[in-house]
C-alpha cells in the first residue's frame, strides 16, 4: 500500500515541519550572507538558493495547514533569526 500525506500521524507532521523550518531558516541566512557578499542576481548558486528557499517556504505552509493551522501564516511570520 502506498503512503500519502493523509496517512501521516500528527507526530510525523510535527517532526517534518520542525526539520523543514530549520532548513528554511538556514536558506534565509545563506541568502542574506550572499546578498551581503554581493552575489550577482543571475549567479546560478544564488538563484538556486532562492529557489530552494521558495520551495521550502511553500512546504512549511503546506505542512502547517496540514497540521491544522488555518492559513499557515504562523509559520511564515516566524523569522529565521528569532530562533
What's residue 68's pLDDT? 77
How far apart are alpha carbons 80 and 40 in whole angstroms? 23
| 39-49 mean pLDDT | 98
pLDDT classification of 65: cutoffs 50, 70, 90: confident
List phi, psi (to 5°) of 40: -65, 145
Of 5-9, 24-28, 69-73, minimum mean pLDDT range: 69-73
Is the pLDDT reported for residue 83 higher than 60?
A: no
Please state whether the predicted TM-score (pTM) of the whole model is above 0.95: no
How far apart are alpha carbons 82 and 79 in whole angstroms? 5
Name the percent of the chain lying above pLDDT 70: 81
Amino acid at each position: 500500500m502506498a503512503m500519502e500525506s493523509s496517512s501521516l500521524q500528527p507526530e510525523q507532521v510535527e517532526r517534518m515541519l520542525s526539520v523543514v523550518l530549520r532548513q528554511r531558516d538556514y536558506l534565509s541566512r545563506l541568502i542574506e550572507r550572499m546578498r551581503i557578499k554581493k552575489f550577482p542576481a543571475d549567479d546560478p548558486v544564488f538563484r538556486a538558493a532562492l529557489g530552494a528557499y521558495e520551495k521550502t517556504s511553500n512546504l512549511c505552509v503546506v505542512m502547517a495547514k496540514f497540521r491544522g493551522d488555518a492559513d499557515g501564516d504562523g509559520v511564515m511570520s516566524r523569522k529565521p533569526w528569532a530562533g
